[in-house]
Structure 1
Amino acid sequence: MSLSVDVFVVGADGRKQVLDVPEGCSDLAGFERWRTTVWGSEVVRSLGARFLPVLADADLQVAADEVPAFLRECALLRENLERIVAGTDPVRTVEEHRRTISERLANIEDAAGRAKAMCAGILIW
């Protein structure tokens, strides 16, 4: 199984509506095991991340008003990508691990950017 990243809005009735992923975008946010081995890893926690480590225990829901802080956390992870790669176990080669983390982080950043533009939230599940 894989983790997915989606944008959601809250309707007038208070219900969450997950939006379709736009063509040309990807909702892949990592392998299911990445809940603990990457996003919830000690190295990610040591950077001060507070959103993505939630995935170790539950799905992550980021409210619209928290999206700017979430984007800052994504930027922090992007700046420390080499540290994250070195501090987590690669499934295949280190280069493949680096590329895959970077690509999945880019999908998360893209969804967060779309959410910010729409005053919407993020769901990683």
Structure 2
Amino acid sequence: MLAHRTSYAIILVGNPRNSQKMGSMLSTTTITVAELPFSSTDHGLPASAESTDVMPSDLLLPSCKAVEAPQPALKRLLSESPRSLCLIVDAVCGWTVSVAEELDIFHASFSTCRAFGTSLWEFE
């Protein structure tokens, strides 16, 4: 909907596995996909832990610690892009608030979890 209602550039950002998945699902060329480096094995997680859709439930909480790893790459991407107006993120990526504040970009988050799953998160 954003792509059809605005002339702004829209960039979806994700880890290597999710970026490929997002790119294959897009039916428009007005949205680009950027890949942030992430290796789950660097954080003691199995390679399949790069995406929660295939991750065993016992690894969900440990993976939340590793989710902050792409912070420097996101900061660099936003700094090198034309003036960014808004950063919209999944609520799991709470660390993006400080990036948005540092770069003076509006920040909004959403939750894709159901109510019970959302109630388990600790927000900063």
TM-score, structure 2 length as denominator?
Answer: 0.33
- Greater relative contact order, per chain length (Cα 8 Å cut-off, separation 6+): 1
TM-score, structure 1 length as denominator?
Answer: 0.33
Give the greater-gyration-radius structure (CA). Answer: 2
